[in-house]
Amino acid sequence: MALQAGIVGLPNVGKSTLFNAVSNSAKAQASNYRFCTIEPNVGLVDVPDTRISKLEELVKPNRTVPTTMEFVDIAGLVKGASKGEGLGNKFLANIREVDAIVHVIRCFEDDNILRDEGPINPVGDKDIIDTELQLKDLESVEKKVARTEKMARTGGDPKAKVEFEILKRCQEHLEKGKNIRELGLSKEERVAIADLFLLTEKPVLYVANVDEASLHTGNKFSKALEEAVKAENAQVIIMNNSIEAQITELEDPADKELFFAEYGLTEPGLNRLIRSAYKLLDLITYFTAGVQEVRAWTIHTGWKAPQAASVIHTDFEKGFIKAEVISYDDYVKYGSEAAARDNGRLRIEGKEYVVNDGDVMHFRFNV
């Protein structure tokens, strides 16, 4: 289940440069002019996880397959996009399809890089994007309010009345210049707006693209951004997208180590970004481990064993009988499936078992 995170932002903030750094299957064009990215680029990305490397070391399989995410590099947005300015309609259609948003914001000064919005202002840049998404969402909500109001007011459909009240709350919230994800709707309430695929309901991760000098400490721009998103309970990741792109060009591990040492890094910043985006989507990983293959599988937090089995094959869910489960820590402690079983650490779980992050699993099924 390759879920998508869309990389968005104003023109020339470093979106395509970040995409080039983060993607291991595609390269986006990164150039210094507006609307360089027109059609969205899609890249499949391995989710960095040291646990799969440890399992590979213990099992020595024929092959190892990490879990993945998709990152989408979407055209730069400009003020007025909700009314079709620039590539607004295309941008908004593309972003509607992703599961989460990675919002890249420029937090560095460089006179050589074009900027139409005046002095560097990360909070103002964030507000431009937010406003355009809110206006588009407001348009969608108002249309559904108009459709739902008559049914709600006649009183013949209790469901319509509840739906209308939720829609009105959303409308008022958007009119105040706030994002739907801040409204605190319950899972049941979100059903009323599920068909609208609202842009401001999507979870967001902010990337503060800083200069080299600010790589470890941030700067006044990134700190202003962090302060501005506190109400959203959103994470801000400080990166230098240019440095990240350079790291991905290095193939020799020794060269990478030297590069890390030069910049005082222990790992690429994009590893933090990928892990954070994975967590933002409320995802966890379980593993299957055998001589033929060690593999990581992506599921949502809270999924039960049959659902987890379905990502391998739908027949596994339909004919689910039981799951053999070893926690990752126990697998590593005892060094093998056989040793974990001998020490009573292999559990037999049924249909109601909620899978934990890091479980090493084997499914029994019959169809």
* Binding residue ranges for ATP: 12-17
The 3-state secondary structure of 108-166, one letter per residue: CCCCCCCCCCCCCCHHHHHHHHHHHHHHHHHHHHHHHHHHHHHHHHHCCCHHHHHHHHH
Mark the binding-site residues, compressed into ranges. 12-17
By the 8 A CB rule, do 68 and 45 touch? Answer: yes
- Residues whose CB is less than 8 angstroms from the CB of residue 217 and which lie 6 or more positions away in sequence, other chains included: none
Q: Which residue bears the tokens 């949502």? A: 300
Residue ranges of the alpha helices (H) in 295-360?
305-310, 314-318, 328-334, 337-342
Q: Choose among 45, 89, 121: nearest CA to 275.
A: 45
Distance CA 87, CA 90 (A): 6
Q: Which two tokens stand for residue 267?
A: 């790992």
Burial 87-99 (b: 16+ CB within 10 A, else e): bbebbbebbbebb
